[in-house]
Amino acid sequence: MPNPDVKREPTILQTIIPISLLIGLLACSVYLFGADSSYGPNQIALILAAGMGIIIGIRNGFTWKELEAGIVHSISLSMGAILILLVVGSLIGTWILSGIVPTMIYYGLIILSPTFFYPLAAIICAIVALATGSSWTTASTIGIALIGIATALQLNLAITAGAIISGSYFGDKLSPLSDTTNLAPAIAGTDLITHIRHMLWTTLPSMAIAIILYLIIGLFTIKSGELVQLKPFLDAINGSFNVHWYLLIPPALVILMVIKKMPALPALLIGALLGGLFAVFFQQEAILKYVADADLNRPVALLKGVWMAMFTEYRSETGHAALDELLSRGGMSSMLNTIWLIVSAMMFGGVMEKTGILTRIANIVLGFANSTGKLVLSTLATCAGINVIAGDQYISIVIPGRMYRAEFEKRRLHPKNLSRCLEDSGTLTSPLIPWNTCGAFMAAALGVPTYLYLPFAFLNLLNPPISIFYGFTGFSMDKIKDSDVAEESEDLQAA
């Protein structure tokens, strides 16, 4: 499928060079900088690889202005995610300052059992994400509290983050309120309800296996009857914050607003402002200690404290080392490195799309798909590959959806098969890529690097192989019926 915007189609060698360069640079970045590779080195790798793509584009007849326009367009697609990241930074800051996060942690420690914590974390996040349609909102609200509880219970934070992401993406994937759940069927040519029902075949088994795995991990890593000494942790929270049930009102309101279909950005911004308001009313001593400026009168100091929490990291000084490390975070400034990573990734993705390299890769993959199983495998691989190359889950759904739709129709495979594939890979592999908007967001919100939680995001890892298995066995791969064609023709005539 030729790209009409491409001046000259890239050769195989030109397709391989920038991707190989990126892989090589990222490997060097991890080798040289280890866990700090996402704090600058990966960004440089993405920009240098984009530079190679630009050289190839100019060699093939593009002007710098045209390539620049492609980069700007690609970055513009991530602006929604960038704005949400900034607001989430403020929300984390004000929710810690107001005692909302400490209160959620406090009650969670009392209620949740260490042995069953991992499966319960996945189930809780699944329910919230199903109700809100947003994995990001779930991770940045309930997820933060669960990370805090896991810290106090001395549980593995990587496994906890994996369980949070598995549950969040289960709910996001099946919720009619989710943007990707609406986008996939629209691109594939089917309706929302049919799409959700068809996804149950792959998503429910994946989630069931994930919960069993989390349960097994809990049973075998937490000794029977083992007691975690929580009193110092609980005392530290009580000593620094006023803990009350009504501090849970802002999270409940944010979830309610999203359920009522308010967009995530204004809902989270309102949540951040509510956090600041609750801090002024219920945590005045904590604010004054945070500001530490005796020259300011009380009202001005309170205003300054809330303002600080929204733009810079909140510094916890409870005297409990683990709690201070957990609560010293937040503010818009804490998200700037993540935004740098996203912009760099979208720059590379924009160059790859504008020069036709992405299209060339997809066409090569399509030539391999001479059976239903291989077509499904090719679709899933293309979605995952674009998540790696372009760094955005929406692009990983839209481009493969456009490219493979005709092939699915040609083989009389129902469009719901394509829409399911788009979500089984495009949606679910996105948080597993450190420089993808979703991977960068999850790592920043939960405070756990992507490479640490990746092995434990069981739903995200299991769903694509199950989808591939169905493709090769033909199980649930429904064909287009004559009645479907007739109904579609009637709908077109009516339109």
What value does the mean pLDDT take over residues 428-454? 91
The β-bridge partners of 413 are: 479
Task: Identify the sign of the CA torsion 402, 373, 461, 39.
Answer: negative
- Given this model, what pLDDT does residue 234 score? 82
- Given this model, what pLDDT does residue 488 score? 47
Which amino acid is it at 248?
Answer: L
Q: Is the pLDDT of residue 223 over 70?
A: no
Confidence of residue 495 (pLDDT cuts 50, 70, 90): very low
pLDDT digits (tens, 9 = 90+) for 234-244: 888 888 899 89
pLDDT digits (tens, 9 = 90+) for 260-305: 878 878 888 999 999 999 999 999 999 998 998 878 899 999 999 9
Q: Is the pLDDT of residue 491 over 50?
A: no
Between these two residues, 23 and 308, which has the higher pLDDT value? Answer: 308
Confidence of residue 357 (pLDDT cuts 50, 70, 90): confident
Among 236-245, 317-326, 450-459, 483-492, the least confident range: 483-492
Between these two residues, 194 and 493, which has the higher pLDDT value? Answer: 194
> To the nearest whole number, what is the mean pLDDT of the chain?
85
Q: Is the pLDDT of residue 205 over 90?
A: yes
Task: Report the length, in residues, of the chain.
Answer: 495
Q: Whole-model pTM above 0.95? A: no
- Given this model, what pLDDT does residue 300 score? 94
| Cα separation, 380 vs 420, whole angstroms | 10
What value does the mean pLDDT take over residues 53-69? 93
